[in-house]
Amino acid sequence: MAEIIIVNTEDEAAELYGRTVADLIQNKPNAVLGLATGSSPLLAYEHLADIIKNEHIDVSNVQGFALDEYLGLPLEHEQSYHSTIRRTVTEPLGLNPQYVHAPGDVLNGAPLSNGDLIAKAGPDYDDAIDKAGGIDVQILGIGTDGHVGFNEPGSSLSSGTRVKTLTEQTRIDNMRFFDNDLNQVPTHCITQGIGTIMRARHVILLAFGANKAQAVADAVEGGISSFCPASALQMHKHATVIVDRDAASKLQLADYYRWVYANKPDWQKL
Ligand code: GLP
């Protein structure tokens, strides 16, 4: 794991992400962003949108690839990740919607039984990422069970984009978006694999709140194991984990991470 940054507020984390991505786009106008849903990245997107607006940054050639999608939800369903990314990223940042993709875009709610279509969608998505030049910065949240994207415990650490079955814990965690009715939460998803995520040139994982503390500790300080898929990031050359004090509360080396960050040379960026 490259760097663990313990911040006081979510806002500080959002600033770090916003500045990093804004600088990237200024240096590389056709940058490729890996995009995540969930509540953890929301403030980071807002902050990036503000910088883009205030500094008049041209984003017309920026491309985006979402991490994952529920299976069986039509694209226009307000909880599909296609719609969520439109609402929280594409529109506020002013990206060209033609350049922003999600792994379920070709499926548009196709039922799980449509094997031919669904099985091809994953490898095609990985090809599309490669053709775009690969992801420059991938933002990630983390599930309470250590999942990233929708790679649940037990996921192959070298997996590509493919169909997965959600754990009951994840469906319960996400029930709040579906009228608190577990029956409405899809059972399957299509997600970038851990291998796909590992190919991103820079990965920034954000986690806030005490309910993420165990997953963060397992990911950062536990053994590398498919039991905690986020732990694969320990093998990544450029992974940045930004957590608040509550999410950092189970880290054994928290004081050391704080000291490292406080004494970081100015020339070293995120
Ligand atoms: C979902 C998403 C993940 C996200 C996780 C945590 O399961 N597929 O990409 O990281 O939720 O969400 P939150 O950030 O809301 O805690």
Summarised one tens digit per residue, pLDDT across range 102-157 is 999 999 999 999 999 999 999 999 999 999 999 999 999 999 999 999 999 999 99
Residue with tokens 């929301």: 42
* pLDDT tens digits along 195-218: 999 999 999 999 999 999 999 999
Catalytic residue among 136, 152, 173, 244: 152
Residue closest via CA to ligand 1's atom 11 equals: 38
Cα radius of gyration rounded to whole Å, the chain: 18
Any atom of ligand 1 within 6 Å of the Cβ of 141:
yes
- Tell me if 129 sits within 8 A of 135, measured CB to CB: yes
- Tell me if 167 sits within 8 A of 145, measured CB to CB: yes
Query: Element (H or E) spanning 131, and its range?
Result: helix 115-131
Any atom of ligand 1 within 6 Å of the Cβ of 68:
yes
Residue closest via CA to ligand 1's atom 1 equals: 38
pLDDT at site 2: 79
145 is known as an active-site residue: yes
Exposure on the CB side of residue 88, measured as CA atoms within 13 A: 20
Q: Where are the beta strands (DSSP E) in 37-146?
A: 63-66, 68-70, 100-101, 137-140
pLDDT at site 1: 58
Residue closest via CA to ligand 1's atom 6 equals: 143
Report the chain's mean pLDDT, rounded to a whole number. 97
56 is known as an active-site residue: no
Residues of the chain with pLDDT under 50: none
Indicate left, alpha or beta for 134 from its phi (over 0: left) and psi (-120 to 50: alpha): left
Residue 98 is given by DSSP the state G
